[in-house]
């Protein structure tokens, strides 16, 4: 693998260039389909699917609702959601920034 900034050869497992410090982007990213921890209405299935596909979660929810309303699709839509809920792992919760110490009012 070659650094995009300084064009030196790097180890395939490197995240940063050891010469110039630039972030090295892998040839392909390893994405996992996971239930969303931040964008969930029921179980995070639609939010996780939207994150994986790179689309808005509202579009995925509308598509799933249409699938559930179509005659004969309601059983398929509900069963598919329940199966996805059970099979898809829950994404880890994002790490929040620490709360800064606030000065107490003098008095």
Domain identity same for 60 and 88: yes
Confirm whether 104 is domain-assigned: no
Q: Give pLDDT tens digits for 28-82.
A: 556 778 888 787 788 888 888 888 888 888 998 888 888 777 766 666 677 788 8
pLDDT of residue 98: 56
pLDDT of residue 74: 60
Confirm whether 53 is domain-assigned: yes
Q: How many other CB atoms sit within 10 Å of the CB of residue 17?
A: 19
Confirm whether 87 is domain-assigned: yes
Domain identity same for 48 and 83: yes
Domain identity same for 88 and 44: yes
Domain identity same for 69 and 22: no
Count of structural domains within the chain: 2
| Domain extent for 69 | 31-93
Pairwise CA distance, residues 101 & 106, whole Å? 15
Domain identity same for 57 and 77: yes
* pLDDT at 97 exceeding the cut of 60: no
pTM for the whole structure = 0.55
């Amino acid at each position: 693998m070659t650094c995009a900034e300084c064009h030196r050869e790097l180890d395939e497992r490197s995240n940063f260039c050891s010469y110039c410090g630039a972030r090295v982007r892998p040839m392909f990213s390893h994405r996992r389909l996971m239930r969303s921890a931040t964008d969930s209405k029921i179980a995070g299935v639609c939010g996780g699917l939207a994150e994986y596909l790179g689309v808005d979660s509202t579009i995925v929810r509308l598509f799933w609702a249409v699938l559930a309303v179509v005659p004969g699709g309601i059983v398929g839509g509900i069963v598919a959601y329940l199966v996805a809920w059970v099979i898809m792992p829950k994404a880890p919760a994002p790490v929040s920034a620490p709360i800064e110490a606030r000065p107490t009012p003098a008095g």
